């Protein structure tokens, strides 16, 4: 039986599955291991099942024992892992795509609604009590007829587009390539971000974090948006240059944000906490029981597939 280090606590169903498949080392206290502890605990192991909270940079990967042949990331993203360093060391890296698309798209819609309808301010006012109704009390932006720009029209982006269209939003998108007509479902394609941003009353960021998309929302590109636009992010925090977006919020160039992901999670930029129109969540994209079980089970299956076949369909490097 292969010996596997599982760096974070999983839901019971998935830990039971891992026990039937491998000789696992569990993290029963759900401790956030340091990079050096991950290296130490992986001694004698054949693979590691990591989480987004594990920073598997070049230095950490180079220190891993030569017995490690696979890093199975418990996430659709893999920005926490240096793919090139892993490849050079002969370690394959896998992710868990598809199984979290529905749950993440639901949070994407929640971010749009929460930011447009000033939910954060409304919750605070309701908790304080004693609010006084008036015709202009917490007036927000209605979704019907609003132009929604989707940055990254993959599985999650397409699901958000379908739901948003049912709410009366007009869908625009930018992707690495234009989708077929049936997958577009009436959405309008833009071949560059300036064109997309300029028509986005609301933007939903759904693209992966890459060298090309890092800080795509920055001091220059926030000026492309219509005044009073709303930006939401259900993808990765690295896509936003925080100081530029916070400045745009304070200047009212950007009306509101809806964020579920941040740079340096869980230590989000404190500037967002000072903005009343910031609707912020603690990375809940995949946070349903069914989805988290499906993700962990797929991460386990990825390791099993690799050791049985020498490859894995969810390999990302």
> Which pLDDT band, with edges at 50, 70 and 90, does 202 fall under?
very high
Q: What pLDDT is stored for residue 209 in this prediction?
A: 86
pLDDT at residue 210 is higher than 90: no
Judge whether residue 58 has pLDDT over 90. yes
Q: Where are the domains of the chain?
A: 3-97+288-309, 101-280
Q: Considering all CA atoms of the chain, what is the largest pairwise distance in Å, rounded to the nearest integer?
A: 67
Residue 211 has pLDDT above 90, yes or no: no
The answer on pLDDT for 79 being more than 90 is no
- The per-residue pLDDT for 73 is 98
pLDDT-derived band of residue 77, with 50, 70 and 90 as boundaries? Answer: confident
Q: What percent of the chain has pLDDT over 70?
A: 100
User: What are the two backbone dihedrals, phi and then psi, of residue 190, each rounded to the nearest 5 degrees?
Assistant: -125, 130
Task: Evaluate whether the domain defined by 3-97+288-309 bears CATH number 3.30.1330.20.
Answer: no
What pairing do the DSSP bridges indicate for beta strands 202-205 and 229-233?
parallel
> Residue 233 and residue 249: Cα distance in Å, rounded?
15
pLDDT, tens digit, 9 for 90 and up, residues 227-242: 999 999 999 999 999 9
Read off the pLDDT band of 35 (50, 70, 90): very high
Residues 44, 48: Cα–Cα separation, whole Å: 11
Is the preceding peptide bond at 266 cis, omega within 30 degrees of 0?
yes
The top-level CATH class assigned to 101-280 is alpha beta
User: What are the b/e assignments for 284-308, b being 16+ CB within 10 Å?
Assistant: bbbebeebbbbbbbbbbbbbbbbbe
Q: What whole-number distance in Å separates Cα of residue 222 and Cα of residue 235? A: 18
Per-residue pLDDT, 7:
98
Residue 26 has pLDDT above 90, yes or no: yes
In this predicted structure, which of 33-37, 84-88, 145-149, 265-269 has the lowest mean pLDDT? 265-269
What are the tens digits of pLDDT across the range 87-120? 999 999 999 999 999 999 999 999 999 999 999 9
**Residues 53, 33: Cα–Cα separation, whole Å:** 9
Asked if residue 197 has pLDDT above 90, the reply is: yes
Examine domains 3-97+288-309 and 101-280 and report if their fold is the same. Answer: yes
The mean pLDDT value for 133-154 works out to 96
Token pair 């990967």 in the structure block, residue: 61
Mean pLDDT of the chain: 96
Extract the runs of DSSP E, i.e. beta strands, from 46-94: 47-50, 70-73, 92-94
Helix 289-309 vs helix 101-116: crossing angle, to nearest 10: 140
CB atoms within 10 A of CB 91: 21
Residue range 276-309, pLDDT digits in tens: 999 999 999 999 999 999 999 999 999 999 999 9
**Which residues are part of the catalytic machinery?**
236, 265, 283
Radius of gyration of the chain (CA): 21
């Amino acid at each position: 039986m292969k010996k596997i280090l599982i760096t974070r606590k999983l839901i019971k169903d998935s830990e039971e599955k891992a026990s039937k498949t491998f000789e696992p080392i569990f993290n029963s206290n759900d401790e956030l291991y340091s990079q050096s502890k991950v290296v130490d605990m992986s001694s004698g192991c054949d693979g590691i099942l990591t989480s987004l909270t594990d920073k598997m940079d070049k230095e950490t990967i180079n220190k891993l024992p030569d017995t490690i042949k696979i890093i199975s990331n418990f996430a659709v993203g893999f920005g926490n892992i240096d793919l090139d360093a892993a490849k050079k060391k002969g370690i394959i890296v896998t992710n868990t795509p598809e199984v979290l698309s529905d749950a993440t798209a639901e949070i994407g819609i929640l971010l749009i609604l929460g930011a447009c309808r000033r939910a954060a301010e409304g919750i605070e006012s309701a908790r304080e009590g004693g609010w006084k109704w008036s015709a202009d009390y917490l007036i927000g932006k209605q979704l019907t007829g609003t132009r929604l720009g989707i940055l990254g029209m993959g599985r999650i982006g397409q699901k958000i587009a379908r739901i948003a269209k049912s709410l009366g939003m007009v869908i625009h998108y930018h992707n690495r390539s234009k989708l077929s007509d049936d997958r577009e479902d009436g959405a309008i394609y833009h071949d560059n971000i300036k064109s997309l941003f300029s028509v986005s009353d609301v933007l939903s960021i759904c693209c992966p974090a890459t060298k090309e998309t890092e800080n795509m929302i920055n001091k220059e590109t926030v000026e492309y948006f219509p005044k009073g636009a709303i930006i939401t992010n259900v993808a990765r925090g690295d896509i936003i240059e925080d100081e530029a977006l916070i400045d745009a919020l304070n200047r009212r160039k950007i009306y509101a944000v809806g964020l579920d992901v941040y740079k340096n999670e869980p230590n989000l930029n404190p500037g967002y906490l000072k903005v009343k129109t910031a609707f912020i969540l603690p990375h809940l994209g995949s946070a349903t029981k069914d989805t988290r079980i499906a993700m962990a089970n797929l991460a386990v299956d990825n390791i099993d597939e690799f050791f049985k076949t020498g490859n894995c369909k969810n390999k990302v490097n």
